[in-house]
Amino acid sequence: MLARAAALSLALAGPAGASDAIRVEPLAGGLDRVTAIHAVAAAGPHLYVAEQPGRIRLVDAATGVVAAVPMLDIVDRVRAVAFEQGLTGLAFPPDFPADPRLFVHYTRADGASVIARFGLLAGDPARADPDSELVMLVVDQPHPTHNCNQLAFGPDAMLWIGCGDGGSGNGPILDPQWLGHLLGKVLRVDVANLAPGQPYRIPADNPYLADPSARPEIWANGLRNPYRFSFDPATDELWLTDVGQSRWEEVNVVPMASAPVNYGWPVMEAHQCWPAGTRCAVDGLHLPVHAYGHDGGRCAVIGGLRVRDAGQPVLDGAYLAADFCTGEVFALREGGPGGFVAAVAGRAAGHLPTVFARDADGRILLGTYGFGNGSVLRLVGVDALFADRFGDSRAAAQLPAGCGHRAALDGRPACGRDGRSAASR
């Protein structure tokens, strides 16, 4: 879906009358396809910005000046030919740079996904050593779409990894419901206190340790393309978006204690059985808290983060995400009979959003896609939210309590506050 979206015109626009609750301010430009942004207060006044071809750039968080020398350059081992390939994941341990490691996901020459870690040069948080690489995990990819992407350290200090179903369109080559492979999954591994050369350990509370037919790294399954996910800093809940097949883009939220979680693909696409018009068994499947369709030029959801910033009361408590094609930034808030109220909060006009982040002061950043003209933008709340909704059947206020949508099953409410199907409760 993202690969197809890249070919669409930047002139595509969302619905008229969208609220302007967010002001978009440029911070840095001239970047090459931004895929990750991180700020580490203890490491200095700069942002770490990953570029798809295989570089991590240093950007001054105040001025937006991009340092000439990258923090890490591994272009020589990264394949970034297809739209969803390249250096697409970056994570720093919670106590970086005291823990002088960084973790990346990239696509290697044969198309496989590589999760690797690097060390710093002489302990300098502005320079990583490209020769220090330790390959932790390799995931073979049957297709150049829906690969692994996001890396993040959770509130539990574990490393979380999102992997798509391996493509392609119109149904996966390998079934994400099967637990014997890592495609279409969320993985969770322990990278602390390792023996020399040890890639990772399996957390003792991962859900499939007792299943000999399952990969023990798996925390959740049933995903198509979980391009972005994040954790709510106030509740530790996992917010995860899944890029849809042909009709729906979905937003999910689950407590970390919910494992195992089955997000439903390819049995369901968001709240509906897949293929559309069919019936399906939904016992035990998680349903999204919100989904939106592809009208108005929308094409692919870019997951964001839950804002927890009392200094920005307009945004505080909202979950922000974006659409890749239209540049719309939308927001979800708890409330209303549907459990969540959705609104278009603003637009990054002329930009293709790829990643949300926070700077060291908690301000919201947005990275964008562009060959040599990618950007880092600041998002600032300026007006009341939710004057405009996605409209009609997609307005969350019209949905049954605790659910993102009615599932096209048998007319019953599809899910509870925990997002699991009614049939499973």
> Span 182-187, mean pLDDT?
98
Predicted pLDDT of residue 397: 29
**Can you tell me the mean pLDDT for 44-70?**
97
Q: In angstroms, how far is CA 191 from the centroid of its own chain?
A: 21
| DSSP symbol at 67 | P
Instruction: Tell if the pTM clears 0.75, that is, is over it.
Output: yes
**What gap in Å lies between CA 236 and CA 247, rounded to an integer?**
30
E strand or H helix at 135: strand 134-139
DSSP H helical ranges for 208-280: none
**Does residue 15 surpass a pLDDT of 90?**
no
Decide if pLDDT at 387 tops 60: no
Q: How high is the pLDDT of residue 274? A: 95
Mean pLDDT of 56-72: 98
* Per-residue confidence (pLDDT) for residue 390, from 0 to 100: 41
Contact 19, 386 (CB under 8 A): yes
Q: How much is the pLDDT for 21? A: 87
What is the percent of the chain with per-residue pLDDT over 90, rounded to a whole number? 78
Determine the residue type at 319.
Y
Residue 229 has pLDDT above 60, yes or no: yes
**Which range has the top average pLDDT, 286-300, 390-404, 405-419?**
286-300
Give me the percent of the chain exceeding a pLDDT of 70: 85
pLDDT band at 340 (very low <50, low <70, confident <90, very high): confident
pLDDT of residue 384: 60
Higher local confidence (pLDDT), 41 or 408: 41
Local confidence band at 19 (pLDDT 50, 70, 90 cut-offs): low
The pLDDT, as a whole number, for residue 339 is 77
Q: How confident is the model at residue 337 (pLDDT cuts 50, 70, 90)?
A: low
Amino acid present at 280: C
Span of 39-48, 322-331, 345-354, 387-396 with lowest mean pLDDT: 387-396
What pLDDT band is residue 306 in, cutting at 50, 70 and 90?
very high
d(CA 70, CA 91): 16
Q: What is the pLDDT of residue 311?
A: 87
Structure tokens given for 379: 């998002």
| pLDDT higher than threshold 70 for residue 234 | yes
Model pLDDT for residues 400-416, shown as the tens digit of each residue: 333 343 333 333 334 33
C-alpha to C-alpha distance for 242 and 251, rounded to whole angstroms: 7
Average pLDDT over residues 2-6: 37
Tens digit of each residue's pLDDT (9 = 90 or more) over 140-168: 999 999 999 999 999 999 999 999 999 98
> Which CATH architecture is the domain 2-424 placed in?
6 Propeller (2.120)
Query: What integer is the mean pLDDT of 29-50?
Result: 97
pLDDT reading at 62 higher than 50 = yes
Check residue 394 and give its pLDDT: 37
Cα separations in angstroms, 332 against 94, 326, 346, 423: 27, 18, 13, 26
**312-323 pLDDT, tens digit each:** 888 999 999 999
Rounded average pLDDT over 207-215? 97
